[in-house]
């Protein structure tokens, strides 16, 4: 048995970045100063896995780029007046040797975990936006869609659109197609009913024949309208009640939210962090 939980969806739907891979997100970036990276770990203590996620990422980056040296990670902060305020989940990772130093910057975007009751372990996954090697990052704006809620319900005024929003494309197509077929069929039946009513006036000797046909077409029309209503109602219930796939939305930032400027004085050299909101 597996119990699944997620930071954005605590009822347990795997996010799109985990099922489809981070390359689908990398294609949505507005610039190449950063890229998405996901890291995974397992253990019996979920809080420990969460607190160690930046160290897991730091180790992954060091191995990926074959960077030598001592690793250290710092949660960045910004000064507001006379006080220091932590930048939410934005980290600086530094790799130092005796002769060099290399830095990366990372921002936590989303997280997801599963509890495996058979082993008593958590499988933890974290998604980060990470600066490319040797580049100053210009992070886009990130948000995670809700797996259910008001948005899918509002979109589902047109059947299937809410399911598309939640990532259930096959179900969305089926519902949209079923609704369209019922509506088109009902309109066709109404057209045939009207045509037979006109024929009753044109051919008075065949009034009963055309009257019976008009009645049959009316019955079919009503059945199809009923089916259209049932499909629409099911579509609304499904959009509200059934959880979809959480997705990361990537939007170009209107202004540079996080930027880094090198500076030097006779006493020291360093990097200035600028955070705008």
pLDDT digits (tens, 9 = 90+) for 123-135: 999 999 999 998 8
Per-residue confidence (pLDDT) for residue 147, from 0 to 100: 61
Q: How far apart are the first and last CA of the chain?
A: 44
- Can you state the angle between helices 207-241 and 169-202, rounded to 10 degrees? 160
Same domain, 237 and 252: no
Residue 211 lies in a domain: yes
Same domain, 236 and 254: no
Number of compact structural domains in the chain? 2
Per-residue confidence (pLDDT) for residue 5, from 0 to 100: 44
Per-residue confidence (pLDDT) for residue 270, from 0 to 100: 53
Per-residue confidence (pLDDT) for residue 266, from 0 to 100: 45
Residue 147 lies in a domain: no
Cα–Cα distances (Å) from 258 to 12, 73, 84, 221, in that order, read 32, 17, 16, 60
Helix/strand/coil for 189: helix
Distance CA(271)–CA(119), nearest Å, equals 46
**Contact at 8 Å (CB) between 64 and 79?**
no
Same domain, 267 and 131: yes
pTM: 0.64
Distance CA(236)–CA(3), nearest Å, equals 27
Residue 26 lies in a domain: yes
Per-residue confidence (pLDDT) for residue 153, from 0 to 100: 75
Residue 179 lies in a domain: yes
Same domain, 87 and 23: yes
Which range marks the domain in which residue 163 is found? 152-241
Per-residue pLDDT of the chain (277 residues; tens, 9 = 90+): 333 444 443 346 789 899 889 999 999 999 999 999 999 999 999 999 999 999 999 999 999 988 888 888 888 865 445 555 555 688 999 999 888 889 999 999 999 999 988 889 999 999 999 999 988 899 999 988 766 666 777 888 899 988 887 777 888 999 999 999 999 999 999 999 999 999 998 888 898 999 999 999 999 999 999 999 999 999 988 888 777 778 898 998 765 455 554 444 445 445 555 555 5
Same domain, 117 and 62: yes
**Strand (E) or helix (H) holding 252:** none
Same domain, 117 and 15: yes
**DSSP H helices in 109-168:** 150-155, 161-165
Cα–Cα distances (Å) from 101 to 35, 67, 94, 95, 96, in that order, read 21, 10, 7, 6, 4
**Contact at 8 Å (CB) between 17 and 8?**
no
CA-closest candidate to residue 116, choices 46, 169, 26, 69: 46
Residue 134 lies in a domain: yes
């Amino acid at each position: 048995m597996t119990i699944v939980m997620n930071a954005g969806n605590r009822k347990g739907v795997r996010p799109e970045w985990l099922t489809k891979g981070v390359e689908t997100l990398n294609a949505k970036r507005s610039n190449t100063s950063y890229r998405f990276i996901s890291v995974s770990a397992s253990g019996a203590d979920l809080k420990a896995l969460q607190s160690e996620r930046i160290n897991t990422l730091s180790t992954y980056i060091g191995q990926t780029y074959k960077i030598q040296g001592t690793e250290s990670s710092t949660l960045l902060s910004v000064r507001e007046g006379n006080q220091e305020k932590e930048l939410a989940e934005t980290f600086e990772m530094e790799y130092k040797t005796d002769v060099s130093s290399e830095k990366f910057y990372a921002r936590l975007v989303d997280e997801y975990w599963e509890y495996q009751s058979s082993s008593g372990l958590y499988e933890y996954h974290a998604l980060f936006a990470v600066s490319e090697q040797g580049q100053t990052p210009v992070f886009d704006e990130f948000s995670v869609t809700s797996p259910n809620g008001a948005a899918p319900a509002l979109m589902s005024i047109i059947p299937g659109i809410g399911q598309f929003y939640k990532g259930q494309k096959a179900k969305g197509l089926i519902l949209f197609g079923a609704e369209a077929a019922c509506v088109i069929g009902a309109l066709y039946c109404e057209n045939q009913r009207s045509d037979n009513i006109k024929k009753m006036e044109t051919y008075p000797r065949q009034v009963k024949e055309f009257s019976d046909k008009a009645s049959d077409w009316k019955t079919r029309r009503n059945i199809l309208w009923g089916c259209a209503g049932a499909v629409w109602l099911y579509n609304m219930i499904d959009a509200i009640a059934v959880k979809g796939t959480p997705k990361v939305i990537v939007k170009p930032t209107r202004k540079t939210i996080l930027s880094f400027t090198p500076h030097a004085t006779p006493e020291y050299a360093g990097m200035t962090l600028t955070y705008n909101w």
